[in-house]
Structure 1
Amino acid sequence: MKTITDAKITYVLRQGDTPLILAQRLCAWCGHAPELEIDLALANIGLDLLGQARNFLGYAAQLAGPGYSEDRLAFGRDEREFRNLLLAEQPNGGFNDTLVRQFLLDAYHVLLHRELSRSKDSQLAAIAAKSLKEAEYHLRFSRGWMIRLGDGNEVSHQKIQQSLNDLWRFTAELFHADAVELELAELGIAVDPRQLQAPWQEMVNSTLQQATLALPAEPAFRHGGKQGQHSEHLGLMLAEMQFLQRAYPNCNW
């Protein structure tokens, strides 16, 4: 039988794994972005997310007890042990794909951290409050580019719309609540993700309207990442991310 501590570890891992995987994706743009300003912005956002991941994974390690650390959790777990959202692990593709992925997650993270900063768990609340300040900046960046490119020329509009259509199916998981989240939400520790859907949809709809983009016709339906059921992309990314620690266990510089 799972205890409250077990449920909390699972929940905190979810909050840490998504920014960890997203940071890895964004930092792959370093030196490859379409212009220098975007290159620097994506790298900085990636570093912010890495900091958030360290805070959450460090707390998860503290809850798990002796022998655990943020490094072990980041580099020592297999694919099925990761609890990140499926949307975060989707490939970078072109800048349009990265931008849409970022915008959809930024809008979600602003709402999530705003609510989680009120958690009865003081450590979770503190991490979320710090993360919220960064998430609000991230959203200003991604939202601004969504509008700029969506309402730009015919080519930029078409590319952003296609990326939105392709990635939309993964947004269902953002609001899919399971027993872990519901139990902790009842205790005032976690956020019930279902309560975030309406304000997220309103935020997204407002942005799409300004960007002259259409809401995708296909309903969102994909989920499972929070339970360790991932797309084919995560394993390939982890093989690269974890290579050094796997090849030289416990190495340090």
Structure 2
Amino acid sequence: MSESNASATRITPGNALRPEDIAAADLKPSADVVEYALRLGDDSLMLAQRLGWWISRAPELEEDVALGNIALDLIGHARSFLSYAGHGLDKTEDDLAYFRSEPEFRCAHLFVQPNGDFARTIARQLLVSHYQFELYSRLMHSTDPTLAAIAAKAVKEVDYHRDHSSQWVLRLALGTDESRRRMIAGLKLTWPYVEELFVDDQLIDTLGDAAVRPSTLRAPVDSLLASLFAEAELEIPAVPAAVGGGRHGRHSEHLGYLLAEMQVLAREHPGATW
């Protein structure tokens, strides 16, 4: 490869990160980086699938557009991470999205929780967006240049997701008695799945500075949420943590139903284009 071509395909923070850009860079990730990229890509892919359900069902037209745009942002993040993982597995992003079985997915349980009512969806989005903002803010400094570049692009979009969910929490918690009741109930149903996001494991130890240690994110996320909860006159839900395992392919029944809906067309017509 000539120097000019190398420069054209070099991935750095701020570059456009389409799947074809990642492939053109021809940077083969290690098996450990592949596993890490699958975790991040699967998180975003599953949440995007959940949020897409709200299109035409949100409480107001503006919110149809907002949740649809957040879902599209997340699909973009998923494409980048899964394309990078696929580059190390000689698979495409579509192979990984549509033709893996349930135990092969690495998403945390929070990302596949049912939508419930609008307040429950907002509670889930609040927790996810604050976690992802802190995660990507640190992943920008990864020693893996592709992960760093994906994070640098994603963090700008997640910052909007964080503001959007925070504004809705304030509106619902400080609104009517019914909206406040639903916001509190949504947080109680969602909070048990937070703990899994901050669990370290052997993969994180192996990756070192290429990854972000989840446990280091807990304090800043808790601090930001505590400030918002104080403003919204809410309390941190006193509920036990749910059993995790999503990072290692152990999922609840929710993922199976979600994959069945998401994968059916690709599996019925493999290789089809339109």
Deviation, 1:249, is: 1.2
d(CA) in 2 for partners of 1:110, 1:182: 22
- Unpaired stretches in structure 1, ≥5 consecutive residues: none
SS of aligned partner of 2:30:
helix
d(CA) in 2 for partners of 1:9, 1:86: 20
Deviation, 1:241, is: 0.3
Q: Is the 8 A contact 1:172 1:222 kept in 2?
A: no
Deviation, 1:222, is: 2.9
d(CA) in 2 for partners of 1:163, 1:210: 18
C-alpha RMSD of matched pairs (Å): 1.0
Provide the residue aligned with 1:10 in structure 2: 35
| Mapping of residues 98-113 of structure 1, within 5 Å | 98-113=121-136
Provide the residue aligned with 2:174 in structure 1: 151
Deviation, 1:153, is: 1.6
Which of 63, 67, 83 is matched with 1:38 structurally? Answer: 63
Provide the residue aligned with 2:3 in structure 1: none
TM-score, normalised via structure 1 length: 0.95
Which of 216, 220, 224 is matched with 2:237 structurally? Answer: 216
Query: Share of identical aligned residues, percent?
Result: 45
Deviation, 1:33, is: 0.5
Provide the residue aligned with 1:178 in structure 2: 201
Deviation, 1:220, is: 2.4
Number of aligned positions between the proteins: 246
Provide the residue aligned with 2:25 in structure 1: none
SS of aligned partner of 1:229:
coil
Q: Does 1:117 align with 2:140?
A: yes
SS of aligned partner of 2:251:
coil
Deviation, 1:29, is: 0.6
Displaced runs of 4+ in structure 1, greater than 4 A?
none
d(CA) in 2 for partners of 1:195, 1:220: 18
Deviation, 1:6, is: 1.5
Residue type at the aligned position of 1:54: R
Q: Does 1:47 align with 2:82?
A: no
d(CA) in 1 for partners of 2:106, 2:168: 29
d(CA) in 2 for partners of 1:113, 1:222: 25
SS of aligned partner of 1:91:
coil
d(CA) in 1 for partners of 2:52, 2:261: 13
Cα deviations across residues 61-80 of structure 1 (Å, max 9, x unaligned)?
A: 11223xx0000000010111
Larger Rg: 2
Deviation, 1:41, is: 0.2
Cα deviations across residues 183-208 of structure 1 (Å, max 9, x unaligned)?
A: 11x2x100000000000000111111
d(CA) in 2 for partners of 1:126, 1:30: 30
Cα deviations across residues 62-121 of structure 1 (Å, max 9, x unaligned)?
A: 1223xx000000001011100111001011111011100000000000000000010000
- Unpaired stretches in structure 2, ≥5 consecutive residues: 1-28
Which of 201, 207, 218 is matched with 2:222 structurally? Answer: 201
SS of aligned partner of 2:194:
helix
